Amino acid sequence: MDALGARALRKTRFITAVSEIARNALEHGGGGVMEIYNLERPRRIMIRCRDEGPGIADIDQAMVDGFSTARSMGKGLGGARRLVAAFRIESRPGAGTTIEMEADP
C-alpha cells in the first residue's frame, strides 16, 4: 500500500480487516489461502481469503454485529466490511468461504 501512497489510517483500517478475516479462516475454516493483488483499475489493493471449512449457513445473520458462533463479541465480518472500500463474501455450508476485500490508496 505504500507504493500506492496510502494514508496511514487507510492502511491501518485495511490491515485490521485483513487480520480479522485471516483469524476467522484459521479459527472457523481450519486455515486457508490468502492472495494479495495490486489492481490497476480501479487502483486498489485486493486480498482474497479462501478456506475449505464448514462454510457459513446464513451470511446475512453472520454480518450482523453481535452474532457469533464462537462466543466472541461478534464484530468480525461486519467490522471488516466497514473498514474497507469493497467487500464480497461467498460461502456454502460444507464448501468453505471466500472473502475478497479492497482498499483505496
Domains of the chain (ranges, CATH numbers) = 2-103 (3.30.565.10)
Specify the pTM.
0.84
Distance (Å) of CA 59 to CA 3, 54, 77, 102: 34, 13, 9, 19
The predicted-structure confidence for 42-59, as pLDDT tens digits, reads as follows 889 999 999 999 999 888
How far apart are the C-alpha atoms of 29 and 9, rounded to whole Å? 29
The predicted-structure confidence for 48-91, as pLDDT tens digits, reads as follows 999 999 999 888 888 887 666 655 544 679 889 999 999 999 99
| Length of the chain (residues) | 105
